Structure 1
Amino acid sequence: MSEAPKDAPFQAVQIDALVILKIARHCSSTFPTVATGSLVGMDQNGTLEITNTFAFPTIDTSAADSHQNDASNLAAAAPRAKSNIAYQAEMIRHLKEVNVDANNVGWYTSATMGNFVTMPFIENQFYYQKDNDKTVALVYDTSRSSQGTLALKAYRLTNLFMSVYKEGKFTTESLQKSKLSFRDILQEYPLAVHNSHLLTSFLHQLPSPPAATEPKEPTSLSDLNNDRIKAPLYPSIDNLDLSIDPFLEKTCDLLLESIESHYVDLNNFQFYQRQLAREQTKITQWQAKRKAENAQRTLAKQPLLPEDEWQRLFKLPTEPSRLEGMLNAKQVEQYSKQVDGFTANISSKMFAVRENLLPQ
């Protein structure tokens, strides 16, 4: 797990187990639609403690326009909706009345197969982080957690990306000047699960099964007839299964889609470069022609023509934003990490039986 930078407002995130259960229940009930909610807690000694959470209300899509009637997109933008902002303020006011932690410390969202690096995610986190630096975004992978492995991670926008995003310029020149890359968009923070002392005491008091005693050796034939030796359980051979994990196949498909999206964005930028080169060539030719005309008019003692008229005659194409391409590259990196994690066990199995896989 990556460590937090030294200049970060907090160094780690601590979340109560009850909060994880609430997030898991909400995300599982709305799957495959994106689920979002608010997080409350407090910052103490460099640790952001998340002690409670509540879900945002479901947005009614029946009154939406036809081109916006997408439940997933509307749910992804729920943290910035005016109705949910008022609902969050009302809930925090009620929490203060019952004397519990009522400081907003971020928000959470659900994801499928690690697909969360999108524009709504960046906009939501920027909305929270611009006013309160001590906020975090929790990403709960519903599909991965359904297989018995808790997939919950904490992210925050880096200070460098926040400064560039405030300016709103993601051109090649601005990115080179700020030295911003796709690796500098998000920063993952260590996440620790916390239980109350009362719950910990209860878990320690749960009765455990008695330990199996060593079998006594028989002393006579009658002992064998009276107490026959039980056959041992057969060993599990599931670990020897060489089938590919279906999550690995799906992740590879999503990885290919992200790579295709990255190439589409790259082709659009190359098209802009070709258009810019053509227009600059036309401008150069026009300026050379105008200089020749002014040279002739100087010999004829006639008034010179303006040489900056090309700004009105020619219009340079606008450079497309590089932010979408950076997000695609970040998503490709996220999928690559997942593929690396999935193939760790499969590669060891393939290595163990490689002699049987090689052609004879």
Structure 2
Amino acid sequence: MANQAAPVRSFLQAAAKTEEAPLPLRVVQIEGLAILKIIKHCKECSPDPVTGQLLGLDVGSVLEVTNCFPFPTRDEDEELEAEGANYQLEMMRCLREVNVDNNTVGWYQSTFLWSYQTEDLIETFMNYQENIRRCVCIIYDPSKSNQGVLALKALKLSDSFMELYRNNNFTGEKLREKNFTWVDIFEEIPIKVSNSPLISCVMTQLETDSPVNQCDYDRLQLSSTPYLERNLEFLVGCMDALSKEQQELQFHYRILARQQAQQQAWLQKRRAENMARKAAGEEPLPEEDPSNPIFKQNPEPSRLNSFLITNQIANHCNQINGAVGQNFSRLYLTKALHEN
């Protein structure tokens, strides 16, 4: 029997095998122009949420974001999905014609007081993951930026969370088995701002001789009562939502305990009946009856929403702590200036 020749591996097969173990994402490198576009779009439409597409390159462990474009806002009665897809394709075609990077690497969206932990964000991530090997979401908060801080985050879903989400395994037993907690849902990727040498030279020439800018003055604002007030309002709302989730879980366990008690009572009755049948020389009846409603499995509610709400609560607490600490620093500084 003749020896068979080894199959020739094509370039696509080799590339597919190489992609089996991609390098972990270490940093998101964003061009300064792309950041300015994101800030401009989000601030112009604040407090309404807006989104846009991120374009760039995936190079090793670095995800380069070189450009972006906004998604237009439309009325609810329009066909958003079809028109949105056509708009994206047309924009990317136009960018390709002018030799601009048109590879999708994710999307950006605005938020208010970091209230982005929603199931919609997770579903969007999963939809992107079906077509893109690696993508990120840039979150920008105009309300936080008004405090004199560039509120920008790059997020991705953790691999362990995506596995649980695909299998819809958010029961208490599965979460304990995987040792999964609410802090393991999102992974924050460090952001590095990059500008070409030519842009850096131009910015140096345009920079004024003033030692401070408007951002420095914004940090000295003593009044942050509205910011703290809104954070507290959001925190109270999250606590109410978490309380409802816990009540639903407690209700499930009460039903489960009642069902188990009914099952035990039924089993004791059936065993007594089987003992009587054995004494009479008859065949015993099965101890389990799937047709009986008390043996019907009651599905455990998902813990995903509770995890997202807990994550949101932690964000609001961190913002309140940070704002209060900055307020105390500014007040002490103002007091020292008045005394002098």
The bucket for the TM-score relative to the shorter chain is 0.7 to 0.9
Q: Is the 8 A contact 1:291 1:307 kept in 2?
A: yes
Q: Is the 8 A contact 2:23 2:60 kept in 1?
A: no
TM-score (structure 1 length as normaliser): 0.78
| Inter-CA distance 210–187: structure 2 relative to 1 (3 Å threshold) | closer
Q: Is the 8 A contact 2:50 2:109 kept in 1?
A: yes
Q: AA paired with 1:305?
A: L
How many angstroms apart in 1 are the aligned matches of 2:26 and 2:262?
55
Counterpart of 1:260 in structure 2 is 240
Is the counterpart of residue 269 in structure 1 residue 249 in structure 2? yes
How many angstroms apart in 1 are the aligned matches of 2:293 and 2:225?
60
Counterpart of 1:89 in structure 2 is 89
| Inter-CA distance 251–208: structure 2 relative to 1 (3 Å threshold) | closer
Task: Tell me the secondary structure at the aligned position of residue 284 of structure 2.
Answer: coil
1:291-310 alignment runs, 5 A limit: 291-309=271-289
Aligned-residue CA RMSD in angstroms? 2.7
Q: 1:255-283: per-residue Cα shift (whole Å, max 9, x none)?
A: 12112211110111011001000001001
1:311 to partner: Cα distance: 4.9
Is the counterpart of residue 319 in structure 1 residue 334 in structure 2? no
Q: Which of 247, 254, 269 is matched with 1:289 structurally?
A: 269
How many angstroms apart in 2 are the aligned matches of 1:181 and 1:255?
20
Task: Tell me the secondary structure at the aligned position of residue 244 of structure 2.
Answer: helix
Aligned pairs, number: 307
Of all paired residues, the percent bearing the same amino acid is 36
Task: Tell me the secondary structure at the aligned position of residue 251 of structure 1.
Answer: helix
| Inter-CA distance 60–353: structure 2 relative to 1 (3 Å threshold) | closer
Q: AA paired with 1:25?
A: K
1:126 to partner: Cα distance: 1.9
1:248 to partner: Cα distance: 1.7
Is the counterpart of residue 24 in structure 1 residue 39 in structure 2? yes
Q: 1:109-133: per-residue Cα shift (whole Å, max 9, x none)?
A: 1100111101111111122134323
1:40 to partner: Cα distance: 0.4
Q: 1:280-319: per-residue Cα shift (whole Å, max 9, x none)?
A: 1001100110010011011112232222115533233221
Is the counterpart of residue 340 in structure 1 residue 302 in structure 2? no
Task: Tell me the secondary structure at the aligned position of residue 64 of structure 2.
Answer: strand
Task: Tell me the secondary structure at the aligned position of residue 268 of structure 1.
Answer: helix
Task: Tell me the secondary structure at the aligned position of residue 319 of structure 1.
Answer: coil
1:92 to partner: Cα distance: 2.3
Q: Is the 8 A contact 1:269 1:320 kept in 2?
A: yes
1:210 to partner: Cα distance: 9.4
| Inter-CA distance 328–207: structure 2 relative to 1 (3 Å threshold) | closer
How many angstroms apart in 1 are the aligned matches of 2:90 and 2:150?
31
| Inter-CA distance 138–291: structure 2 relative to 1 (3 Å threshold) | same
Task: Tell me the secondary structure at the aligned position of residue 238 of structure 2.
Answer: helix
Q: 1:54-113: per-residue Cα shift (whole Å, max 9, x none)?
A: 11232321358xxxxxxxxxxxxx7xx343234323322332232221111000111001
Counterpart of 1:183 in structure 2 is 183
Q: AA paired with 1:194?
A: S
Counterpart of 2:6 in structure 1 is none
Q: Is the 8 A contact 1:27 1:110 kept in 2?
A: yes
Is the counterpart of residue 55 in structure 1 residue 74 in structure 2? no
Q: AA paired with 1:291?
A: R
1:45 to partner: Cα distance: 4.6
Task: Tell me the secondary structure at the aligned position of residue 256 of structure 2.
Answer: helix
- Flag the structure with larger Rg: 1
1:221-236 alignment runs, 5 A limit: none
How many angstroms apart in 2 are the aligned matches of 1:333 and 1:44?
33
Q: Is the 8 A contact 1:156 1:187 kept in 2?
A: yes
Q: 1:3-61: per-residue Cα shift (whole Å, max 9, x none)?
A: xxxx8632111111211222122222332221011100012352211111111232321
| Inter-CA distance 33–353: structure 2 relative to 1 (3 Å threshold) | closer
| Inter-CA distance 207–145: structure 2 relative to 1 (3 Å threshold) | closer
How many angstroms apart in 2 are the aligned matches of 1:324 and 1:173?
16
Q: Which runs of 5+ in 2 are unaligned?
A: 1-21, 212-216, 336-340
How many angstroms apart in 2 are the aligned matches of 1:58 and 1:116?
19
Q: Which of 219, 225, 239 is matched with 1:245 structurally?
A: 225
Counterpart of 1:231 in structure 2 is none
Q: AA paired with 2:231?
A: T
1:329 to partner: Cα distance: 0.7
Task: Tell me the secondary structure at the aligned position of residue 54 of structure 1.
Answer: strand
How many angstroms apart in 2 are the aligned matches of 1:273 and 1:58?
44
Is the counterpart of residue 138 in structure 1 residue 138 in structure 2? yes
1:207 to partner: Cα distance: 7.0
1:26-175 alignment runs, 5 A limit: 26-62=41-77, 81-175=81-175
